[in-house]
Amino acid sequence: VSRLTIWPVEGIGEIAEGTVIADEVASACATEPNGPLQPGDVLVVTQKIVSKAEGRLVAIDPSDPLSHKALVEQEAVRIVRRRGDLIITETRDGFICANSGIDLSNVEHGYAALLPLDSDRSARRIRDGLRARLGFDVAIIVSDTFGRPWRQGLTDVAIGVAGIAAVVDLRGTEDSQGRILQVTEVCVADEIASAAELVMGKATGVPVAVVRGVDPAWLREGSVRTEIVRPPSGDLFR
Amino acid sequence: VSRLTIWPVEGIGEIAEGTVIADEVASACATEPNGPLQPGDVLVVTQKIVSKAEGRLVAIDPSDPLSHKALVEQEAVRIVRRRGDLIITETRDGFICANSGIDLSNVEHGYAALLPLDSDRSARRIRDGLRARLGFDVAIIVSDTFGRPWRQGLTDVAIGVAGIAAVVDLRGTEDSQGRILQVTEVCVADEIASAAELVMGKATGVPVAVVRGVDPAWLREGSVRTEIVRPPSGDLFR
């Protein structure tokens, strides 16, 4: 890889239940000043618009904190930690995050956006739709904004992928000293999601970014659920 | 921000104790096909070469696992978790990571590289050296490769910064619906470190990348230690 270029896709309209995201993205990219999509581009799509398109908005009573809290518990398979208003839960997909990934920003007042039911499948649907329109494959990463233990500040991570590896295994590759690297499973999907966040910004509401120039070797079918979600048996922090 | 460009800096020579990284970087960037550095560029420098330049290599006996283990415990202020050969520790800087951040890859056989004593200071030293050579400011992020709870695959994070915010606080900014965002502290330093890893690769041994096009509002003096390291009182996972 010699050069990576990342830009926000402007001009994507309001997304409602039933909106076909691939259509919106293809139209917006066709008129982008950065030019049309190319094979091997990675599109990072924020969870918020995927949830909206898939009808994952639910009404809550904004004046009643219990309304939000009940929803968080309903979407959780397990409460991992709780302190005051902060609830860290495990979702059905195996994500461990605040409030079961439910969030109220960039959503109409009185509504909350739940996570997609299966974000890998959501990514594949967008990829398939774009392939039909473009005649070639682009990779899709559905991203969300998570906190982390020990480190302040949120970062964007991948919750679903299509057409790109989630984790790239470099075990057995020689390092620059000719030694075999010991632990080199790199979560490129999370790194690409983070990179895309840098051009989208939380406040500006741009929900899609293009990442051009990733290593073509990463462009195989991937899955966040099977590659990134750590099985409980291998996890020291549950 | 309309466009971010990231490339690896090729041609940086072997780094030994006493090597002035700013000199190496300035020379290598001067002949880069991507052109010279510009004000506002962010240079991501991997911990490994910073540790080498600062003489943080120590001899170990590669045939004796206890030699490595003793070093990990010496560099730790606390053992956070231990399972088999895996030790998660807290370092003096407050980082929680595997093996006190000590790693053997891309280091001469028989040596281990310890973390810099103060990576924010290391970043400032590189920034100051480049300012003296270039006549303008670039931002520096010293990066390292850490694992995470719950998610498989490693990602690069910031362990030191200079001339750039580690965490950007968007609290109070309106979202696209005109609502005040609730939690919007974004760890841009970690996101930039991750983005840079995508072009450096673990196996290729390129230790520096340039990130051009970050939001100029982020270019203030920052600190990983005060902005990113989460105080124990605010941490649910210790």
The residue length of chain A stands at 238
* Nearest beta carbon to residue A186 from set B153, B185, B195: B153
Summarize pLDDT for A170-192 with one digit per residue, the tens: 766 666 666 655 658 999 999 99
| Strand-pair partners of B59 | B111
Helix, strand, coil percentages (3-state) for chain B, rounded to 5, are 30, 25, 45
**Dihedrals φ, ψ of A174, to 5°?**
-80, 140
Q: Which residues of B touch A173 (CB under 8 A)?
A: 202-203
Q: Which residues of B touch A6 (CB under 8 A)?
A: 3-6, 195
% of chain A exceeding 90 in pLDDT: 72
The residue length of chain B stands at 238
- Contact between chains at B106 and A177 (C-beta distance less than 8 A): yes
- Contact between chains at A202 and B192 (C-beta distance less than 8 A): no
Q: Report yes or no: A43 and A138 within 8 Å, Cβ to Cβ.
A: yes
- Contact between chains at B170 and A2 (C-beta distance less than 8 A): no
Q: Which residues of A touch B155 (CB under 8 A)?
A: 186-187, 190-191, 194
Does the ipTM surpass 0.85? yes
pLDDT at A51 over 60: yes
- Contact between chains at A191 and B183 (C-beta distance less than 8 A): no
Which residues lie below 8 Å from residue B102, measured CB to CB, with a gap of 6+? B68, B71, B72, B75, B112, B113, B114, B115
Q: Which residue of B has its CA nearest to A169?
A: B153
HSE-CB of A197 using CA atoms within 13 angstroms: 32
Q: Which residues of B touch A190 (CB under 8 A)?
A: 151, 153, 155, 194
Average pLDDT over residues A199-217: 88
Q: Which is it for strands A86-91 and A185-186: parallel, antiparallel or unpaired?
A: unpaired
pLDDT of residue B237: 86
**pLDDT tier, A210 (very low <50, low <70, confident <90, very high otherwise):** very high
Strand segments, DSSP code E, in chain B are 4-8, 42-46, 57-59, 76-83, 86-91, 96-98, 111-113, 139-146, 155-162, 168-169, 185-186, 208-212
Q: Which of A182, A191, A229 is the best residue to mutate to test the B interface, defined by the most B CB atoms within 10 Å of its own CB?
A: A191
- Contact between chains at A106 and B175 (C-beta distance less than 8 A): yes
**pLDDT tier, B1 (very low <50, low <70, confident <90, very high otherwise):** very low
Gap between the Cα atoms of B139 and B136, Å rounded: 10
Q: Which of B194, B219, B227 is the best residue to mutate to test the A interface, defined by the most A CB atoms within 10 Å of its own CB?
A: B194
Nearest-neighbour CA in chain B from A3: distance (Å)? 5
Nearest-neighbour CA in chain B from A28: distance (Å)? 15
Question: Ranked by mean pLDDT, which of A133-147, A177-191, A201-215, B162-176 comes out on top?
Answer: A133-147
pLDDT at A202 over 90: no
Q: Which residues of B touch A156 (CB under 8 A)?
A: 191
| Strand-pair partners of A76 | A91
Considering only residues B205 and A71, tell me which one the structure prediction assigns the higher pLDDT: A71
Summarize pLDDT for A75-86 with one digit per residue, the tens: 999 999 998 888
* Nearest beta carbon to residue B191 from set A7, A189, A195: A195
- Contact between chains at A198 and B204 (C-beta distance less than 8 A): no
pLDDT of residue B71: 92
- Contact between chains at A153 and B185 (C-beta distance less than 8 A): yes
Q: What angle do CA A186, A188, A189 make, to 5 degrees?
A: 135
Summarize pLDDT for A25-39 with one digit per residue, the tens: 999 999 888 889 999
Q: Which residues of A touch B214 (CB under 8 A)?
A: 198
Q: What angle do CA B187, A194, A47 make, to 5 degrees?
A: 110
pLDDT at A65 over 60: yes
pLDDT of residue A1: 46
**pLDDT tier, B177 (very low <50, low <70, confident <90, very high otherwise):** low
Neighbours of B89 (CB within 10 A): 22
Q: Which of A100, A152, A218 is the best residue to mutate to test the B interface, defined by the most B CB atoms within 10 Å of its own CB?
A: A152
- Contact between chains at B179 and A203 (C-beta distance less than 8 A): no
* Nearest beta carbon to residue A187 from set B6, B155, B235: B155
How many interface pairs between A and B have CB atoms less than 8 angstroms apart? 250
Nearest-neighbour CA in chain A from B218: distance (Å)? 11
- Contact between chains at A173 and B202 (C-beta distance less than 8 A): yes
- Return the closest-CA partner of residue A113 out of A19, A193, A49, A44: A49
- Contact between chains at A4 and B5 (C-beta distance less than 8 A): yes
- Contact between chains at A205 and B175 (C-beta distance less than 8 A): yes
pLDDT at A196 over 70: yes
Max alpha carbon distance in chain B (Å)? 62
Q: Mind spelling out the 3-state secondary structure of A132-174? A: HHHCCCCEEEEEEEECCCCECCEEEEEEEEECCCCCEECCCCE
Q: Which residues of A touch B175 (CB under 8 A)?
A: 105-106, 202-203, 205
Summarize pLDDT for A103-155 with one digit per residue, the tens: 877 678 889 999 999 999 999 999 999 999 999 999 999 999 999 999 999 99
